[in-house]
Amino acid sequence: MATGLRKNGPQAIGKSRGGWSCKIHMVAASCKDALIWSLTPGQAGDSPEGRKLVEAIDVQDSAVYLLMDSAYDSDDLRAAAEDRNLIPVVPAHPRRKNPMPLDKQKYRQRNEVERLFRRIKAYRRVFTRYDKLDAMYAAFFSMALIFELLR
């Protein structure tokens, strides 16, 4: 009697306010180049995962701007970024009591990363997450990033 393969392994799917989902966190150099990314369950916080991604980046020779969403606004993440010669450009989180200044001209360039996400989500298999296991989903997400880079 033949047995089917069991789908055992990490599954970064969690329940958030919108239902069952997962989050993709990415550090990108431009609208085509993703440097590093990770996958977390839907209920996971953005800032701790953002800090892990920033800590995985090497110290830069010259100052580089790090454009982030307000969900990544935390003192820990800012400190980790500044240790690596990255200048955080992030709007203050709505609950922050003492907001940091924001360079609005630089922050406007964040739409390049948003456009990269839009193009990646055009791949139906990435958008709908047909794959149960993280390894398979990560493989197709990486393949979509490669397709976009070669485009």
Q: What is the span of the domain harbouring residue 110?
A: 14-94+103-150
In a domain, 6, yes or no: no
Neighbours of 108 (CB within 10 A): 11
Angle between helix 134-150 and helix 111-120 axes, rounded to 10 deg: 110
Structure token digits, residue 7: 């789908």
The CATH number for 113's domain is 3.30.420
Count of domains for the chain: 1
Instruction: Output the pLDDT for position 56.
Output: 93
Average per-residue pLDDT for the chain: 85
Type of residue found at 118: R
For residues 79-100, give the mean pLDDT.
90
In a domain, 60, yes or no: yes
Does residue 13 surpass a pLDDT of 80? no
In a domain, 88, yes or no: yes
In a domain, 18, yes or no: yes
pLDDT tens-digit map of 102-130:
999 999 998 888 888 899 889 988 888 87
Write 1-5 long-range contacts (CB < 8 A, 24+).
none
In a domain, 5, yes or no: no
Type of residue found at 14: G
In a domain, 2, yes or no: no
pTM of the model: 0.79
